[in-house]
Amino acid sequence: MAACVRMRVTANATLSMPAQTAAHNYDVAGAINRWGWVVHGNPPPGGLADDLPLQWLVTTLDHALRRYVTEEASAPLRMLLPQLLINVSRQYRQIWGQREESPVASLAVVRIEDDQVEYGVFGDCFILVEDGVSGKERWLRPGEPARFEADHRVPLWFSASRGILRPKSHALAMVLASRSLEEVWREAGGEASGHALLAALRQEGLHPLVGRLVRAWPESRPRPALACTYLRVDPVPTPW
């Protein structure tokens, strides 16, 4: 009897931490069932007269992703995410109208689908993936740093990184982050490598790890916002 390898999430953790100088949190993380995501919100370069549109954008993107998870959407992420952004853009214009400056957001999404891991990274979010057999890690990120502007009629999907990982018969460790953890880790005085980050995460767990990072943060610099989702994906052989 042949075996078909399917993937399942065996561990997950999320953390969302506001910037030290911010009144609200514009970076959020989520993990439900076979899905994981982070959303990173930013005001436009010139700033905003008030931050309600930015709060609305981040919250709406997070709620939209949770709705898709609940509905177990079957469309590929390359189709699902652009449509999600178009819908959010339409809602934004209905609520806030045309504004001179609009908030922007980035997101990273992972879905475990049978024998594969499907991912999409839009804007300046990041996904760190570690192969459970070789121990090699790599970052999945867009080639361009453009982000989703809330009142764009067509999302800038050309700046995204998207694809499918087929881990076959071994585990994957994945960290979705709202900003480059290498840079954050380096600024806090840690060893800035994917190996060091994942090793510390396995040893300490996501919340203690980020707590250590916060404690080590130089007092001379404001601490940035950070959202992280950790997923461990393992193969489950089933009769075929």
117: CATH: 3.60.40.10
Q: Give the Cα separation of 72 and 69 in Å (integer).
A: 5
Burial of residue 150 (CB within 10 Å: 0-12, 13-18, 19+) is buried
CB atoms within 10 A of CB 8: 13
pLDDT single digits (tens) 103-125: 788 888 988 877 778 888 887 78
> Dihedrals φ, ψ of 176, to 5°?
-95, 130
The predicted structure's pLDDT at residue 2: 44
Show the domain range for 213. Answer: 3-239
- As for how many domains the chain has, the answer is 1
pLDDT single digits (tens) 47-100: 566 678 888 889 999 999 988 877 766 777 777 877 888 888 888 888 887 766
Higher pLDDT, 190 or 181: 181
- CA 212 to chain CA centroid, Å, is 21
pTM of the model: 0.83
Tokens read off for 232: 């461990």
Cβ atoms of 10 and 118 closer than 8 Å: no
List the one residue out of 117, 121, 142, 114 whose CA is nearest residue 132. Answer: 117
pLDDT single digits (tens) 18-29: 877 766 778 999
The predicted structure's pLDDT at residue 103: 77
